[in-house]
Structure 1
Amino acid sequence: MTFANNECKGFRIGALQLYLQRQAKQWLIATDTIHDDEKVPLQQHNLEMLPGHLQPQRYMFTKSPNVCRLVPQLLDRPVVVKTLQPVRIPPGERATFYISSPVCIGVVLPASEVLKSELILTDIAVQRLSDTWFGPSTQIGELCYADKTHARHSKGELKVRPHRAITPVHIHNLSEQMLAMDKISIPVPYLTLYGDLDGSLWTDSLTIQHKSLLSLASFKIDKLDITKPQTSTLLSPPRKTAEKHSLIRAFTDMLSD
């Protein structure tokens, strides 16, 4: 997007209302939160100035660049999602769930005559999630974000929500007992984000193998092969590099009945 001097734009992305204004020597960025985010599609509108009740962040330049991009990105910490309905997988069975998580919006100034390289001004979460600790104890685990999910098992049940990214999760119960799943931590910082032609957002898929309560489950990241014909476009790379062979030890709240 190209901004003239003093031009101001507003963007509605889920529950996030984002305001950008370019001035001769600075960029101003302000945000607000709106409810009923599921009922409103992406919106853009022009404004004369930033809303007076908001306190903007100021980014100073000798001469401000006139081009800006909004780039969706995955969150910077894993997202612990709690299933809204009980989920049980019998011994030896497999199941696939489609779990969504809110994204961030990066405000990016591309490389230009003014900037030698691309500059990310800020990274704004579309939805504010609460913090939670996830792990087998207070000493072992990690700080995550907390969310809830319907854990849908059919693509046909999915809504197109441009402010949430869908992660396909394949679970294989290799144990000899019924597997009950209450929570699961999605390692979104290790995943790539893609955009589909219908406006939906997708990540790499995950495969989880559960063998017993005595060992941690493991995530295997299944990367999308973007060299093959498809409708997805890479939007942003992972924030972190996964361990060798794309295996991540997962603290999953799974219990054998």
Structure 2
Amino acid sequence: MERFWQELHIDDQREYEWLFFQTRIRALKDADEWHISIQNRKDSSAPPPGEDNVEWHRFISDGKNSKLMFTPLPSDKPVLVNPEQAVNILPGQKARFFIRMPVWLEISLFTSKRIPILEAALEELTNTWFGSSLEGFLCYKLNTLAKRDFNDHDNSQVPSIITPVLIRNESHELLPVQDVCIHGENLRVYRGIKNLWTNEIGITFYGNSQPSKVSYGDKKPRFEELREESSSPRIRAKQDILSKSFSFLKNISS
């Protein structure tokens, strides 16, 4: 997908089409007016390719502008990641995991500068509730593998972003790594040679009865040569966050 993350020249009166996994993007430029559609292939209400009854989004721009750009983004709300294989961290130990996060696609047009106009998730996600009825929040649910080696991730089928998560168990308890809540909206995205990356998240667990510390790295991930930073965080988080919690599930949320 590397060829998509750059400015694309669009000719007048010619329809373009791109397929990003489950998401189909179509674009047509007519002088100063742009027509753009976003369809999910799993959406039963979406018309098949070639049909004219497509829902188009219309935008008025500078007629001289003929550029469109796709940018990878992190999720617009937290993601509850459930590792498919159970893993536990012993007291006093630490472990780094490479977690596959879903990709959002941002579509931008240009005037004197780049203007984001639309965005869409590249895979269908279900919603779930995280936390208690009084202190919880809505997030996406994602079943995935908590890889210890980022090379084990396969991006050939589902485009994804790799988020390094370093977990330290400073308690006297066995720490089960399950239902990890990752705040994608606090992450920045980098383009690597082969993968998309976010900055690293650090989680220090002190026990179920104490708050844990969650930190967001301000440096580029060092696991692969990076081309550039693609997007800034949707919401900038504080460097270190202490969250009062009652279970590990809540400890690693912010």
Same fold (TM over 0.5): yes
Judge conservation of contact 2:83–2:143 (CA < 8 Å) in 1.
Answer: yes
1:58 positional shift: 1.7
- So what's the TM-score if we normalise by structure 2? 0.83
In the other structure, the counterpart of 1:179 is 175
Structure 2: distance between partners of 1:94 and 1:54: 51
Q: Check 1:202–1:225 CA distance in 2 against 1; reply closer, same or farther (3 A cut).
A: closer
Aligned equivalents of 1:225 and 1:197: distance in 2?
13
Picking from 24, 27, 43, the partner of 1:17 is: 24
Instruction: Tell me the alpha carbon deviations over residues 21-55 of structure 1, each in whole angstroms, 9 at most, x when there is no partner.
Output: 111242111122247xxxxxxxxxxxxx9742422
Q: Establish whether residue 166 from structure 1 lines up as the match of residue 167 from structure 2.
A: no
Alignment of 1:189-228 (within 5 A): 189-198=185-194, 200-225=195-220
**Residues 79-94 of structure 1: matches in 2 within 5 Å?**
79-94=79-94
Question: Any gaps of 5 or more consecutive residues in structure 2?
Answer: 1-7, 43-48
Letter in 1 for 2:40: T
Judged with a 3 Å threshold, the aligned counterparts in structure 2 of structure 1 residues 15 and 184 are, in CA distance, closer, same or farther, namely same
Change over 3 Å in CA distance of 1:225–1:166 after alignment to 2: closer
Note if 1:146 corresponds to 2:141. yes
Cα pair 1:21 1:50 within 8 Å, conserved? no
The yes-or-no answer on 1:7 pairing with 2:3 is: no
RMSD: 2.6
CA shift at 1:167, angstroms? Answer: 0.3
Partner of residue 65, structure 1: 65
In 2, are the aligned partners of 1:75 and 1:102 still within 8 Å (CA)?
yes
Verify the 8 A CA contact 1:183 1:254 in the aligned structure 2.
no
Residue correspondence of structure 1 range 59-138 to structure 2 within 5 A: 59-61=59-61, 63=63, 65-110=65-110, 115-135=111-131, 137-138=132-133
Gaps in structure 1 of 5+ consecutive residues: 36-48
Equivalent residue for 2:152, pick from 146, 157, 169 = 157
TM-score relative to the length of structure 1: 0.82
User: What SS class does the counterpart of residue 168 from structure 1 fall into?
Assistant: strand
Does the 8 Å contact 1:95/1:172 carry over to 2? yes
- How far 1:192 sits from its partner (Å)? 0.9
Distance 1:209 1:81 in 2: 18
